[in-house]
């Protein structure tokens, strides 16, 4: 019984084909999705039966009771912590927004040639002149030679 290399290769190829076919059949048998599509009513009956069995054990009631016991009194502490956290976030956000707006206002003042760095409301000028100068209006003696009517 001398086998040639061609016979051995043919046997190996047949074995590979049988193994592939067997694996494919196993995958089809274990494909739950396909089983449910092929047999929807038995799958539904199985699901309902499992639900009835689980509800009879009252495991959901036990889990809910354990959750209530574990979290008893925690809602007050959590509420306080969350209130403090939200307060800090809002304060930080407000500070960042205020700094950003002041920075943008300073950039606009610099761009239009208005004085920068004067304290709020503390320029020492009359109200109309203070408003005009903060808006960049400098009257007839402006450096660019343009005259702007005064509001006072």
Q: What is the CA radius of gyration of the chain?
A: 41
Contact 116, 106 (CB under 8 A): yes
Mean pLDDT of 91-98: 87
Instruction: Indicate whether 134 pLDDT > 70.
Output: no
Q: Apex CA 26: angle with CA 23 and CA 27, to 5°?
A: 85
Q: Which residue has the higher pLDDT, 28 or 90?
A: 90
Q: Which residue has the higher pLDDT, 137 or 4?
A: 4
Q: Apex CA 50: angle with CA 58 and CA 26, to 5°?
A: 145
Q: What is the pLDDT of residues 109-127, one digit of tens each?
A: 888 888 887 555 444 444 4
Alpha-carbon separation of residue 111 from 53, 115, 135, 143 (angstroms) = 77, 10, 11, 15
State pTM to two decimals: 0.29
Instruction: Indicate whether 129 pLDDT > 60.
Output: no
Mean pLDDT of 120-142: 45
- Lowest average pLDDT, out of 16-20, 106-110, 135-139, goes to 135-139
Question: Considering the chain, what percentage of its residues have pLDDT values greater than 70?
Answer: 73
Contact 106, 134 (CB under 8 A): no
Q: How far apart are CA 28 and CA 17, in angstroms?
A: 17
Question: Considering the chain, what percentage of its residues have pLDDT values greater than 90?
Answer: 11
Supply the pLDDT for residue 18. Answer: 94
Supply the pLDDT for residue 68. Answer: 78
Q: Mean pLDDT: which of 40-49, 64-73, 137-146 is highest?
A: 40-49
Supply the pLDDT for residue 76. Answer: 67
Supply the pLDDT for residue 12. Answer: 93
Domain limits, the chain:
73-108
CB within 8 Å of 43: residues ≥ 6 apart: 35, 36
């Amino acid at each position: 019984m001398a086998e040639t290399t061609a016979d051995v290769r043919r046997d190996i190829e047949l074995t590979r084909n049988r193994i592939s076919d067997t694996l494919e059949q196993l995958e089809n048998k274990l494909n739950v999705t396909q089983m449910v599509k092929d047999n929807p009513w038995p799958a539904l009956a199985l699901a309902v039966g499992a639900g009835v069995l689980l509800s009879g054990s009252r495991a959901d009631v036990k889990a809910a009771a354990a959750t209530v016991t574990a979290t008893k009194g925690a809602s007050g502490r959590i509420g306080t912590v969350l209130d403090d956290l939200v307060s800090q976030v809002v304060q930080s956000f407000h500070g960042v927004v205020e700094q950003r707006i002041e920075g943008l206002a300073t950039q606009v003042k610099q761009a239009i040639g208005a004085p920068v760095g004067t304290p709020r409301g503390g320029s020492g000028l009359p109200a109309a002149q203070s408003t005009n100068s903060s808006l960049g209006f400098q009257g007839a003696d402006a450096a660019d030679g343009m005259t702007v009517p005064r509001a006072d």
